């Protein structure tokens, strides 16, 4: 799983940072935006990231399945 952020929806409430501080960082001020780590969410952080997605008041976060590339 990986997490995606819709920056148009994010309002910087920092619920994601409260739920998964190792994964999300929210900037300060009225233009605050979340920064998520890139890549696959590790198993030991998946529950915290799921909680961050669930409790985001603007639904700016979502988890997506990893896509494997076939050649």
What does DSSP assign to residue 1?
-
Q: Residue 32's pLDDT is what?
A: 53
CATH number of 2-64: 3.30.70.20
- Please enumerate in sequence order all residues whose Cβ is within 8 A of that of 14, keeping only pairs 6 or more positions apart, or say none: 26, 32, 34
Span 15-54, pLDDT tens digits: 999 999 989 988 876 555 677 778 889 999 999 999 999 9
Q: Residue 68's pLDDT is what?
A: 61
Span 59-69, pLDDT tens digits: 999 999 877 65
Which is more confident, 1 or 37?
Answer: 1
Give φ, ψ of 4 to 5 degrees.
-120, 145
SS3 34: strand
The pTM assigned to this predicted structure is 0.81
Among candidate residues 32, 34, 29, the one with its CA nearest the CA of residue 52: 34
Strand stretches in 1-71, DSSP E: 2-5, 24-26, 34-36, 61-64
Q: Residue 64's pLDDT is what?
A: 93
């Amino acid at each position: 799983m990986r997490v995606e952020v819709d920056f148009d929806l994010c309002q910087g409430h920092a619920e994601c940072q409260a739920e998964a501080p190792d994964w999300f960082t929210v900037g300060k001020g009225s233009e605050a935006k979340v920064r998520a780590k890139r890549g696959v969410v590790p198993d030991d952080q998946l529950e915290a990231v799921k909680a961050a997605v669930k409790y985001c008041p603007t639904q700016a976060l979502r988890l997506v399945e990893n896509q494997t590339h076939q050649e």
